[in-house]
């Protein structure tokens, strides 16, 4: 059974359609990424999964049960808009939130101590929330999300506001949750995190899903026509190659896509002749490039 089933869901706000006949499934024990530009409908979908807003059409099921009050305790939800009571002490606040999820005081305190130690935050327990930095508050909200040990976690922009060290720690924790059989669904703008972590994705644009499936299958479907070139020297000859589109470029690195694969040998020959080449490799396109290509294609299709 799928952990999440989104079937033909539409949500309107007045004349504006935020989510338009969206369907996808999330399978157990996998990390599923919801991607898309700002305003594409990702957060609206997540809020419907959590029974915060109600679909106008279609339905969402969690573990086979139609979304409603019964499904809310089955989810650990980290919203994009963080909401903590600034005057409450961290320990009291976390116990209060855990009790709302049905935990006993004793079970809550044990679970919360584990997570506070895991995030090196045990010393914050008697501090007021308002005394903490934005990154620290983010950790506290994450702990509140995971403490009741649900089977499904939904994180909306979980890496927002975190420095690289704490982003890496959060990534480790999410992967640990997966290793314990948990299902994780998250929305993010950070493509490198999706690339490293997600098994499956859905890509939104203008309220609709335009791409969904496993990351590996999607990459294969776009072909191996991306080239990564690492070098020392002057690579200005690349500017004269017809049908080349640069995805990423700096003074010692270039990642580009070719309209005509037959150009690859020609480019390699020129690179070896004019550069000190450290790497020349044909690869599947990055999710960043797939994201850009897919959104551009969809927009041109809609406008056409």
Half-sphere exposure of 150 (CA within 13 A, CB side): 25
Alpha carbons 36 and 188: distance in angstroms, whole number: 8
**Pair of tokens at residue 36:** 């898309």
Neighbouring residues of 138: CB distance < 8 A, sequence distance ≥ 6: 82, 160, 161, 162, 166
Alpha carbons 165 and 91: distance in angstroms, whole number: 24
| pLDDT tens-digit readout, 275-289 | 999 999 999 888 888
Neighbouring residues of 147: CB distance < 8 A, sequence distance ≥ 6: 94, 97, 98, 101, 103, 108, 111, 112, 115
CATH of domain 4-214: 3.40.50.300
Alpha carbons 60 and 46: distance in angstroms, whole number: 10
| pLDDT tens-digit readout, 194-246 | 888 999 999 999 999 999 999 999 988 888 889 999 999 999 999 999 989 89
Name the segment(s) of the chain with CATH classification 3.30.70: 224-283
Average pLDDT of the residues in 65-86: 89
- Record the pTM: 0.85
Which class is domain 224-283? alpha beta
């Amino acid at each position: 059974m799928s952990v999440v089933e989104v079937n033909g869901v539409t949500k309107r706000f007045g004349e504006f359609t935020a989510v338009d006949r969206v369907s996808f499934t999330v399978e157990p024990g996998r990390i599923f990424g919801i991607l898309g530009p700002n305003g594409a409908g990702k957060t609206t979908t997540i809020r419907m999964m959590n029974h915060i807003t109600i679909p106008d059409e279609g339905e969402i099921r969690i573990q086979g049960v139609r979304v409603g009050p019964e499904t809310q305790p089955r989810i650990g939800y980290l919203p994009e808009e963080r909401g903590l009571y600034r005057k409450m002490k961290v320990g009291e606040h976390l116990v209060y939130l855990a009790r709302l999820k049905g935990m006993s005081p004793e079970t809550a305190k044990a679970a919360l101590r584990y997570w506070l130690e895991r995030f090196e935050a045990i010393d914050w327990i008697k501090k007021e929330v308002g005394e903490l930095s934005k990154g620290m508050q983010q950790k506290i909200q994450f702990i509140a999300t995971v403490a009741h040990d649900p089977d499904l976690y939904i994180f909306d922009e979980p890496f927002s506001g975190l420095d690289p060290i704490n982003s890496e720690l959060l990534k480790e924790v999410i992967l640990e949750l997966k290793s314990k059989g948990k299902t994780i669904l998250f929305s993010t703008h950070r493509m490198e995190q999706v690339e490293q972590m997600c098994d499956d994705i859905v890509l939104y644009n203008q309220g609709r899903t335009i791409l969904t499936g496993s990351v590996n299958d999607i990459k294969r479907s776009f072909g191996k026509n991306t080239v990564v070139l690492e070098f020392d020297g002057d690579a200005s000859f690349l500017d004269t190659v017809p049908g080349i589109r640069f995805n990423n470029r700096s003074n010692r690195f270039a990642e580009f896509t070719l309209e005509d694969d037959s150009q690859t040998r020609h480019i390699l020959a020129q690179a070896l002749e004019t550069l000190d080449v450290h790497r020349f490799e044909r690869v599947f396109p990055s999710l960043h490039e797939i994201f850009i290509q897919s959104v551009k294609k969809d927009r041109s299709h809609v406008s056409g």
